Structure 1
Amino acid sequence: MHPRIPRQSAREQGGRPPADPDNDARFSAELAAVVSGARRRALRDGDRQIDTAHLLHSLLDADAEAYAVFEAEPQLPRLLGYLVQRSIGYGLRWQGTVEDSGAVPVVTTAEGFSPLAGGAMEYACARAGRRDGGPARGTDLLAAILVDPDSRAVEVLTRAGIDARAVFARVDDSLRSGPQYPGV
């Protein structure tokens, strides 16, 4: 049996009641499903925290809009292969370590997330707020996990032969050009 991803008590979170990242009102229904899927992947892989590679895998699996960003990518099958192999070889060196490049501020209140993944969740919500004030969507999170070049998600993309900066630019372009995103 895999260990549970630890949940922080309210006292450990600075007295605030714990947020339920699987049912956060700041997330679209699709993004809530992505978080649930990432949590299951982390548990299955025996990881203590959800990291950006878990989030990337879950985005590709559960969010059609995020997946569409990669559809024209010739290396997509290779990327999916790396993500699937995580629990059987690739990525095992990450077990027992915390994903934190030090490049972005550490988020300590993101329950069950690595510091980078927690920061990405906050970034996604802030991005959605700047866009239209609505809930964060999968493409907001996709952009967020690509911001730090030292994240595990970017490492997986790089190993698969995919330029994370180019993917970020495609996400940014799709958000700017879509009629439902005024003011971005």
Structure 2
Amino acid sequence: MQNRTSRIPQQPALNRADLEAGLSVELAAVVTGARRRALRDGDRYIDTAHLLHSLIEADPEVRTALDEGQQLAKVLGYLVQRSIGYGLRWQGSVEDSGAVPVVTTPGKRPRDTGVEGWSPSAASVLAEARERARRRGDVRAGGLDLLTALSMDRECRAVEVLERAGVDTRRLAARIVRATGWP
């Protein structure tokens, strides 16, 4: 899922410390789990599917938000299949939903202009989760902030997993916003 259109960065890229600042203790643990999962899977980048998998494992509020019928079990099934090498195949490619610029040259691999060790999409949704927390007056982003940001990125791998499992991601994001009253 790479956007092959060359774009010029509109703003300076964040570094890893900047990206990971402003996370709740629980969400920092999710990031650590996603990083460990990416390394174990042989991926060079943390992507949104790694974040989703760690988020579901670590956050009971997220599991509750996803627990409509058999959706949670189906989502976990897709994520587990992916982590053992079956199902959705993304290994060796950089996830890009277009939210963070990726410059490509015909015949060459894309050059990631985002945060080192993060797919452009994952960096974007983590930054959006932090922004959601800031808008509601909180200094730390939490699990529901990240789930909402993931659900709203229509081109990310996490949305692909969620939708294959039957989750209506637009409805999920709207439901979280209504239930929490968070913007």
Q: Tell me if structure 2 keeps the 8 A contact 1:19–1:111.
A: no
Q: Percent identity?
A: 54
TM-aligned CA distance change 1:15 to 1:53, over 3 Å: closer
**2:72 equivalent among 76, 95, 98:** 76
CA RMSD of aligned residues (A): 2.2
Q: How far apart in 2 are the matches of 1:52 and 1:76? A: 17
Q: CA deviation at 1:169?
A: 1.3
Q: Which position in structure 2 is the counterpart of 1:9?
A: none
Q: 1:90 aligns with which of 87, 90, 100?
A: 87
Return 5+ residue gaps in structure 2 as ranges.
1-11, 103-112
Q: 1:43 to 1:17 in 2, by over 3 A?
A: closer
Kindly provide the CA deviation profile for residues 54-73 of structure 1, in whole angstroms up to 9, marking residues without a partner as x.
11111100112212211234
Partner of 1:11: none
The ranges of structure 1 where at least 4 consecutive aligned residues each deviate by more than 6 angstroms after the TM superposition are 14-17
Give the Cα separation in 2 of the matches to 1:15 and 1:115.
10
CA 1:97/1:175 → structure 2, altered by over 3 Å: closer, same or farther? same
Highest relative contact order (Cα 8 Å, sep 6+), 1 or 2?
Answer: 2
Measured in 2, the distance between the counterparts of 1:16 and 1:105 equals: 11
Change in 2 beyond 3 A, CA 1:83/1:16:
closer
Amino acid at match of 2:100: P
Number of the residue aligned with 1:125: 130
2:95 maps to which of 93, 99, 111: 99
Shift of 1:27: 0.4
Contact 2:100 2:114 in 1 (8 A): no
Aligned to 2:57: 61
Over 3 Å counting, the alpha-carbon distance change for 1:17 and 1:50 in structure 2 is closer
Cα gap change, 1:77 to 1:110, in 2 (>3 Å): same
Q: Supply the distance in 2 between the matched residues of 1:84 and 1:170 (Cα, whole angstroms).
A: 26
